Amino acid sequence: MRKHFPLLMIILTCGSFGFASGQTRRTIIYDGIATEISESNGVENDLWITPADLNKATRFAIKPQGVCRDELCFPLPKNRKAEFISRRGQTTWFNLSEFARLIKQPFVSDQKNGIWYFGPRAAEQNSYLTSLEAPNFSLPGLNGKLHSLSEFRGKKVLLVTWASW
């Protein structure tokens, strides 16, 4: 989440200049992609959206087995179904913020500007741990001879980097 914080601050800062007060636009940032949704039904600190907007913003769909996207599927607890799905009149609403809590996905909202940012799920945050092996690369040494990281496999290596930007 820390690596996404600067991006989020830029988005929220830009968003505060881009919206006139009183507008009810909602923007969901999910998987790093911003999607403007047609309507939402905010209740306190929750984001209720239509199933069509859920699919548009996140590519998730409500199915009998749960909330699914491709082969990924999260079953909704039967005793808490009303916390996730609600029907008001002819419209079905889905509580995206409660779903994020269920799957342990961090999120933050700027309700004044109608922006909701959903960070990576815990499983995605820790996916880099599946392989701690650094990719091979080659760089010239002080004498100009090329050295590859693979030459040092099994040895301790300290990499010092610097950038001017």
DSSP letters along 93-113, please? EEEHHHHHHHTT--EEEETTT
Mean pLDDT over 15-38 rounds to 69
Rounded to whole angstroms, how far apart are CA atoms 55 and 58? 5
* 18 — pLDDT class (breaks 50, 70, 90): very low
Distances (CA, A) of 3 to 6, 7, 119, 125, 128: 7, 8, 10, 11, 14
Pairwise pLDDT comparison (161 vs 55), residue with the higher score: 55
Pairwise CA distance, residues 63 & 38, whole Å = 22
Q: What one-character DSSP code corresponds to residue 165?
A: -
Proportion of the chain above pLDDT 90, given as a percent = 42
Band (21; pLDDT cuts 50, 70, 90)? very low
For the chain, give the percent of residues with pLDDT over 70.
75
What pLDDT was estimated at residue 129? Answer: 56
Higher pLDDT, 46 or 163: 46
Domain spans in the chain, listed from the N-terminal domain onward: 2-128
For 30-71, what is each residue's pLDDT tens digit? 998 999 987 766 566 789 999 999 999 999 999 999 999 998
Q: Which tokens go with 96?
A: 């995206």
What are the phi and psi torsion angles at 87 (to 5°)?
-120, 120
Q: Is the pTM of this model over 0.75?
A: no
Chain segment 111-134, per-residue pLDDT in tens: 788 889 999 887 666 655 556 677
- Cross-strand partners of 149: none
